[in-house]
Amino acid sequence: MRKEKQTALKTRSGILLKDIYRAADLPNPETLSETLGEPGEYPFSRGVQKDMYRGRLWTMRQYAGFGTAEESNQRYRYLLSQGTTGLSVAFDLPTQLGYDPDHARSRGEVGKVGVSVSNLDDMRALFRDIDLSKVSTSMTINATASILLAFYIAIAEEQGANVSELRGTVQNDVLKEYVARGNYIYPPEGALRLTTDMFAWCSKHVPKWNPISISGYHIREAGSTAVQELAFTFADAIAYTEAALKGGLDVDVFAPQLSFFFNVHSDFFEEVAKFRAARRIWARLMKERFGAKNPRSWMLRFHSQTAGSTLTAQQPQNNVVRVAMQALAAVLGGTQSLHTNSLDEALALPTEASARLALRTQQVIAHETNVTQVVDPLGGSFFIESLTDEIESRTFAYLGEIEKRGGTIRCIESGYIQNEIATSAYADQRSIDERKISVVGVNCFEDPPSQRNPVELLKISAELERSAVERIRAYRSKRSEAATRDALSAVESAATKVDINLQEVILKAARAGATLGEISDSMRNVFGLYKEYAGF
């Protein structure tokens, strides 16, 4: 008789897998229906809406931005014409780090990984012929989120929009920048001040706007496991909530406006279970830890994006299949909003054709597969429920460890979270290198060099930076220098006084013609610059 070698199989996060799951594998199988609850009801394992996609599809929000505001505007209008239902703006590095295009540190980066927006004219061009009262806009911006929101509000006012009805999100998640991305400006204290001031301002003036999208996406892209993605994201969320409460805000005033942003990786069922566990964890944190009374405070609403880190430069057409599988996992997990990556993104920013195909991937899932017709179609599966329970348990264990170590900020300052992510990233890459994890076209089913087919790539003009420098200098020349100088002085003064809401003062500076770099410098003068932990 042939003896087969038995190998212990695990999820990508290291959760041991059985060959088959039965009711006995659940902690309390006799109370499964009670634990699950109903869709739209606490603890929201099965979804935040009673009818989910039967009532309304998720928002198809394709992330885009490159070159000049005019070029990005053309892409946005094209995507809207092709059926995308929400805009998502990618900004270049100088914009993310608070530098104008003519700053020495902007050299070589203007318009490269996103669109350059440094003043009101840029924002006007970015949304030309797009009615902001009718579109939901997400802006992936963190350290300078308060400034970009101010620009957006100012041009919405110029369009005649009712600001209180504007819908959208600014990512505004500065804590994850310290552990996963590195695009920070100020130390945590100043950064949290800006965040909580925005919470307060938005709850009063733009109640339908999400003033933060607490992001696990970049934590996962940096190499974390699915469990770590949830744990470190919720640790950040706890820190933001505590800062807002310390600032005198009522949890039920700001919590309904909090939103989240998660990665959709390749381990299909683990990702579905991750999203179900995430809803349950947040509901319990809000209700049991923070005492929120409003059911909307308990509801986790999230945007998701397929995993850029899983895209390969080798056999890039395979990325279409990867993205489709990941997108389906997001839908079966109950996402409210989704971006699907393009096949060429391991090589360059997406072309118009590849962006269209990425959008069509969502549309095929939505309109051809029929997976939207049943709420939580995988709910009740012994495997899914066991995996959901395990992810939830491991996430709370991590949160307990973070509490023991003094909380989120202390764990960032000590490098604990960064080290955990780095260790997981190393282990995952080693498994790929040793072929324990298969990546088709990279470490298996590879093509010889003679069969490699290049794809058409988007190229950014070398002239872009020069024209951006000319435009911002022209912008400064036409404004009232006295009014701008006074407005910037007001920002710097307000940064020293905790009883003044910075968002309101920044909006006034934007209206007065101040640029992104100038407003950032005013706050740099007070808050200083963050220095990265370098202990490992």
Res 2 pLDDT > 50:
no
What pLDDT does residue 3 have?
43
Quick: pLDDT tens for 255-306. Answer: 999 999 999 999 999 999 999 999 999 999 999 999 999 999 999 999 999 9
CATH number at residue 197: 3.20.20.240
Q: Looking at the domain assignment, is residue 100 inside a domain?
A: no
3-class secondary structure per residue, 352-385: HHHHHHHHHHHHHHHHHCCHHHCCCCCCCCHHHH
Per-residue pLDDT, averaged over 188-193, amounts to 95
3-class secondary structure per residue, 117-150: CCCHHHHHHHCCCCCCCCCCEEEECCCCHHHHHH
Res 485 pLDDT > 80:
yes
Res 26 pLDDT > 90:
no
What pLDDT does residue 7 have?
56
- DSSP calls for 486-503: HHHHHHHHHHT-TTS-HH
Q: H or E element: which one contains 209?
A: strand 209-210
Res 50 pLDDT > 80:
yes
What pLDDT does residue 4 have?
45
Q: Looking at the domain assignment, is residue 428 inside a domain?
A: yes
What pLDDT does residue 449 have?
79
Beta bridge partners of 304: 262, 338
Q: Looking at the domain assignment, is residue 232 inside a domain?
A: yes
Count up the domains in the chain and report the number: 1
Q: Looking at the domain assignment, is residue 516 inside a domain?
A: no
What pLDDT does residue 128 have?
96
Q: Looking at the domain assignment, is residue 85 inside a domain?
A: no
What percent of the chain has pLDDT above 70? 98
Flag whether the pTM goes above 0.75: yes
Beta bridge partners of 61: 86
Res 176 pLDDT > 90:
yes
Res 73 pLDDT > 60:
yes
Q: Which domain holds residue 170?
A: 23-50+140-332+341-440
Model confidence at 479, pLDDT cuts 50, 70, 90, reads: very high
Per-residue pLDDT, averaged over 459-470, amounts to 87
Average per-residue pLDDT for the chain:
94
What order do you get walking across the sheet with 337-339 strand by strand?
A: 209-210, 168-170, 137-140, 86-90, 59-64, 337-339, 302-306, 258-264, 212-215
Res 239 pLDDT > 60:
yes
Model confidence at 8, pLDDT cuts 50, 70, 90, reads: low
Strand ranges, E, within 16-171: 59-64, 86-90, 137-140, 168-170
Q: Looking at the domain assignment, is residue 257 inside a domain?
A: yes
How many residues make up the chain in this entry?
A: 536
Q: Looking at the domain assignment, is residue 79 inside a domain?
A: no
Q: Looking at the domain assignment, is residue 97 inside a domain?
A: no
Contact 348, 61 (CB under 8 A): no
